[in-house]
């Protein structure tokens, strides 16, 4: 739970204990003895029940100015704290508590503080508060906190040290700067984890940089000789100056944040969900999520769900909707690979979870959804309103079963005005009966994104027949923009359009660094329509397309190869792709492409095309021969990596006549794309994805070889 420290007096917030430092003295100024004042309403340094703190007799501060600093102790009298010391005669002064923070003032009047990585864990040492006054006033008034605070409790008396860090790598210690008004505090993180020395069981505090967004929190607990345990909470945390995040630490892999809820299958203790010792059970979870009056209890809180299988259809279909006039953010975090949501219902109640309210924003992390059988839209999840985040989840064996048109999205349906960011998820063996989207169907007017997901064995299939479009993904809404980035596809199927992806309608689709791999694609499953068929304006870059179809026995042909670009406009951009197919064209003929422009290695957009999946470059291209685009060099399925991705790097000279794209080409092409290109470039840049593979490895910036990078096993 985040709390705010109240600064009715000079507030004690956190900072580290450091040795006292004297600043250099500017000999160009006269030395004077001055008495500064500040508000004070009590004589205690303990943290009050209302989160207020105030001065205590003898508290020492630093008076800091450009060129020097001095120390002064608090004297309390008649509601004021006074500080007397000798200083340079200058126009303005900062006050900093505690006195040993190593604060300095620059020539521009900016105060800089240093928040170290080694701290004491004591509240009185974790109090970086600052104020500013002029020489005319000499009154610091009320101080402001310059940092944020983490409060945590230790039960084990043998624990002597703790380390906190951000699992996403954000720097939580370093420099903080502010100006004379002390209205904002700018972090400049230069350090990673923060470690504190402890005295066994008790309550402790750590100071962290303010104004940073953390991907979560990681901690380790240990003795002087060894680390005894660790835990991670991947719940995003955003802490401003003056906020306090209260957590309960444990060495069993869990991190408890006060105010959150904790769930196990059978519950524990009082089953009120307040901690793992009093974890709520499955019934408590269902009641918590479905109670119309639970909005205020859930907003901004985290629901941590332990490993186990939870039937979310025990009382019927679960739909999130709350009696509130403002948006409610619901975050449910599971144990990846261990927390399973399923349903004992089928038919109209077969969806595991539905959100149809603009006032519900759902975040899901580390949950497996399986066993859904729904005759509506969205086998496991049906999202028609709200802004949603789905991360590191698994969707396996879910289905929409109705044969009515547009009952699609075997795992997830995104429709209406809903928007979803789906990251790092696995979709395997999901099915839509008709229309399409065996894994994901996008029918929303709002943009959505799929990042770093894997799609295998998803299908549009009913009875014994393949049907419909988009075996894995279907986009079908004229206003929609869809991002598909760093995703891998293989073994998905349908018999009409796009067994991997079919974009039937939309404003645009962006495919970036994706791999579509079917080294042994069965003839009869859409060989004439391409693995990917795009009927909308498309930006396709850094992608690998592989299909090996042996049609010699039937002579059926494969006239659209691995990709069909069917949009008849001019907004198709195809840059830096690797296309391998042993039958027909790599790209289907359309307004933007012809067979002549798609078969040559030197063709449009720095793309490379071949007639079979036969290029496997090893040793980062060092021993590779890129002239090996020869029909005899057919690579079998076993020679490909597990996800079918080919890695292609090497000197340009080994592919005569081919000019690779560079970083400028790619960025300029994205920015110039007329349908949301600038927004897509900003999104890639914000997530640090531009020019990197799915593992974050930087691609060459002066020569980006075609195709997606290979993922690690």
- Mind listing the pLDDT tens digit for each residue in 506-545? 999 999 989 887 755 554 444 445 678 888 888 888 888 7
For residue 181, being part of any structural domain is answered with yes
Domain-ending residue, one of 208, 223, 239: 208
User: Given this model, what pLDDT does residue 704 score?
Assistant: 62
User: Given this model, what pLDDT does residue 515 score?
Assistant: 87
Lowest-confidence range among 34-38, 181-185, 414-418, 675-679? 181-185
Lowest-confidence range among 155-159, 243-247, 522-526? 522-526
Residue 426 has pLDDT above 60, yes or no: yes
Domain-ending residue, one of 208, 239, 273: 208
Which of 53-67, 257-271, 444-458 ranks highest by mean pLDDT? 444-458
Widest CA span of the chain, in angstroms?
100
Instruction: With both helix axes pointing from N to C terminus, report the angle between 677-686 and 663-672 in degrees, rounded to the nearest 10.
Output: 130
For residue 80, being part of any structural domain is answered with yes
| CA-closest candidate to residue 395, choices 366, 429, 369 | 369
Parallel, antiparallel or unpaired: strands 237-239 and 212-214: antiparallel
Residue 369 has pLDDT above 70, yes or no: yes
Whole-number percent of the chain with pLDDT over 90? 34
For residue 552, being part of any structural domain is answered with yes
For residue 92, being part of any structural domain is answered with yes
528 Cβ contact list (under 8 Å, min separation 6): 556, 557, 558, 559, 560
∠ CA 158-159-164, rounded to 5°: 170
| CA-closest candidate to residue 576, choices 417, 674, 438, 708 | 708
651 compared with 148, residue with greater pLDDT:
148
- Mind listing the pLDDT tens digit for each residue in 455-485? 999 998 877 666 788 999 999 999 999 999 9
Average pLDDT of 117-143?
87
Residue 638 has pLDDT above 70, yes or no: no
For residue 157, being part of any structural domain is answered with no
Residue 446 has pLDDT above 50, yes or no: yes
Number of Cα atoms under 13 Å in the Cβ half of residue 542: 32
pTM, whole model, 2 decimals?
0.66
Residues listed for the chain: 713
Average pLDDT of 183-189?
84
Q: Cβ-count burial of 568 within 10 angstroms (0-12 exposed, 13-18 middle, 19+ buried)?
A: exposed
- Mind listing the pLDDT tens digit for each residue in 349-364? 999 999 999 999 999 9
108 Cβ contact list (under 8 Å, min separation 6): none
Contact 54, 95 (CB under 8 A): no
163 Cβ contact list (under 8 Å, min separation 6): 193, 194, 195, 196, 219, 220, 222
Domain hosting 24: range is 2-151+166-208
Residue 259 DSSP SS3 = coil
614 compared with 97, residue with greater pLDDT:
97
Cα–Cα dist 128/123, whole Å: 11
Cα–Cα dist 692/170, whole Å: 19
Lowest-confidence range among 80-94, 517-531, 560-574? 517-531
**How many separate domains does the chain show?**
2
Which of 103-117, 148-162, 407-421 ranks highest by mean pLDDT? 407-421
For the beta sheet containing 532-534, the strands, ordered from the edge strand earlier in sequence to the opposite edge, are: 319-320, 353-355, 381-383, 412-416, 440-444, 473-476, 501-505, 532-534, 563-565, 587-588
- Mind listing the pLDDT tens digit for each residue in 53-80? 678 888 899 999 999 999 999 998 877 8
Torsion of CA 342, 343, 344, 345, to 10 degrees: -160
Q: How confident is the model at residue 106 (pLDDT cuts 50, 70, 90)?
A: very high
Residue 207 has pLDDT above 50, yes or no: yes
Mean pLDDT over all residues of the chain?
A: 77
For residue 670, being part of any structural domain is answered with yes
For residue 289, being part of any structural domain is answered with no
For residue 632, being part of any structural domain is answered with yes
């Amino acid at each position: 739970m985040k709390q705010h420290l109240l600064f009715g007096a000079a507030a004690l917030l956190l900072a580290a204990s450091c040795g006292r430092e004297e600043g250099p003295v500017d000999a160009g100024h006269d030395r004077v003895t001055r008495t500064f004042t500040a508000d004070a309403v009590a004589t205690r340094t303990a943290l009050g029940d209302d989160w207020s703190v105030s001065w205590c007799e003898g508290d020492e501060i630093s008076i800091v100015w450009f060129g020097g600093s001095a120390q002064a102790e608090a004297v309390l009298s008649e509601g004021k704290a006074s500080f007397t010391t000798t200083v340079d005669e200058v126009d303005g002064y900062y006050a900093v508590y505690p006195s040993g923070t190593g604060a300095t003032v620059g020539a521009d009047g900016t105060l800089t503080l240093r928040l170290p990585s080694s701290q004491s864990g004591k509240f009185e040492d974790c109090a970086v508060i600052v104020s500013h006054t002029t020489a005319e006033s000499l009154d610091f008034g009320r101080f402001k906190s310059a940092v944020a605070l983490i409060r945590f409790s230790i039960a084990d008396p043998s624990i002597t040290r703790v380390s906190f860090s951000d699992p996403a790598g954000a720097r939580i210690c370093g420099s903080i700067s502010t100006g004379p008004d002390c209205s904002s505090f700018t972090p400049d993180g230069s350090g990673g984890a923060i470690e504190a020395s402890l005295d066994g069981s008790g309550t402790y505090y750590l100071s962290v940089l303010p104004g940073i967004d953390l991907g979560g929190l990681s901690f380790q607990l240990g003795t002087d000789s060894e680390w005894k345990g660790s835990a991670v909470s991947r719940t995003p945390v955003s802490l401003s100056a003056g906020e306090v995040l209260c957590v309960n630490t444990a060495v069993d892999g869990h991190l408890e944040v006060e105010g959150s809820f904790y769930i196990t299958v059978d519950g524990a203790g009082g089953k009120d969900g307040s901690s793992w010792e009093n974890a709520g059970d499955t019934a408590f979870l269902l009641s918590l999520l479905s109670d119309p009056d639970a909005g205020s209890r859930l907003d901004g809180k985290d629901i941590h769900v332990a490993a186990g299988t939870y039937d979310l259809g025990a009382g019927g279909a679960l739909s999130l909707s709350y009696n509130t006039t403002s948006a409610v953010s619901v975050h449910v975090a599971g144990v990846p690979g261990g927390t399973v949501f399923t349903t004992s219902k089928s038919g109209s109640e077969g969806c595991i979870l539905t959100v149809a309210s603009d006032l519900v924003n759902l975040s899901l992390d580390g949950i497996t959804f399986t066993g859904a059988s729904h005759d509506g839209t969205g086998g496991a999840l049906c999202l028609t309103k709200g802004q949603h985040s789905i991360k590191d989840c698994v969707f396996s064996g879910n289905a929409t079963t109705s044969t009515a048109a547009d009952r699609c999205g075997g795992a997830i349906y995104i429709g209406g005005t809903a928007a979803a960011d789906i990251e790092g998820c696995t979709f395997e063996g999901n099915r839509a009966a008709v229309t399409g989207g065996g894994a994901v169907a996008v029918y929303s007017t709002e943009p959505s994104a799929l990042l770093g997901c894997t799609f295998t064995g998803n299908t549009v299939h009913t009875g014994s027949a393949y049907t419909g479009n988009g075996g894995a993904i279907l986009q079908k809404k004229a206003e929609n923009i869809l991002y598909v980035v760093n995703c891998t596809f293989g073994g998905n199927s349908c018999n009409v359009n796009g067994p991997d992806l079919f974009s039937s309608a939309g404003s645009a689709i962006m495919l970036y660094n994706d791999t579509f791999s079917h080294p042994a694609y069965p003839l009869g499953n859409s060989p004439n329509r391409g693995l990917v068929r795009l009927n909308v304006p498309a930006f396709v870059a850094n992608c690998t397309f592989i299909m090996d179809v042996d049609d010699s026995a039937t002579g059926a042909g494969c006239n659209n190869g691995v990709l069909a670009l069917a949009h008849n406009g001019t907004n198709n951009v195809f840059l830096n792709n690797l296309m391998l197919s042993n039958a027909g064209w790599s790209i289907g003929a359309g307004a933007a492409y012809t067979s002549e422009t798609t078969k040559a290695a030197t063709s449009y957009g720095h793309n490379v095309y071949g007639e079979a999946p036969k290029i496997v470059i090893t040793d980062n291209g060092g021993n590779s021969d890129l002239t090996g685009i020869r029909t005899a060099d057919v690579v079998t399925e076993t020679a490909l990596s597990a996800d079918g991705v080919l890695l292609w790097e090497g000197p340009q000279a080994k592919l005569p006549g081919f000019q690779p794209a560079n970083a400028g080409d790619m960025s300029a092409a994205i920015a110039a794309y007329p349908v949301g290109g600038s927004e897509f470039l900003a999104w890639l840049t914000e997530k640090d994805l531009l020019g990197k593979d799915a593992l974050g490895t930087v691609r060459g910036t002066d020569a980006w070889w075609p195709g997606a990078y290979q993922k690690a096993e």
